[in-house]
A = this chain, B = another copy of it.
Amino acid sequence: MTIGGDGRILKHVLNDVADLDRVFHALADPGRRLMLERLGRGPASVSELGKPLSMSLAAVVQHVQILETSGLVRTQKVGRTRTCSLNPATLRSAERWMSERRGLVERRLDRLGDYLAETDDPAAPAPGDQA
């Protein structure tokens, strides 16, 4: 396990547009999201990940590769078994991109809401008036 590597991966994803492309593309498939939901409960082998999905092992492997390339999943091969685990740092960096955009809009809507609430009250001073 390379907990120390998270910082590097996080920086990498935030700096590179193509990395965000890969993360969101990986998340856009319901089968891959099912795999991530399973990995949320703990590491799993490739065949375990494929069990609830009605697809060939080759297709499962391909999905795992897309998840690994995106940085959402790390894999480690011991003997004949490849164990997958979810990399929370990659999810976090994609969430940050989203929450930054959302935050700007929400703050503006809040200010608009405050302004409308004030102007609804006929006793309230008009914007720009000194209290």
Contacts and interface: CB of A to CB of B under 8 A. Distances in A.
Given A91-B98, A95-B98, A104 B41 contact: yes
Interface size band for A: 35 or more
Max chain B Cβ within 10 angstroms of own Cβ: one of A41, A95, A100? A95
B100 A40 contact: yes
Contacts of A41: 104
B91 A36 contact: no
A21 B28 contact: yes
Most buried by B among A17, A24, A85: A24
A122 interface: no
A24 B27 contact: yes
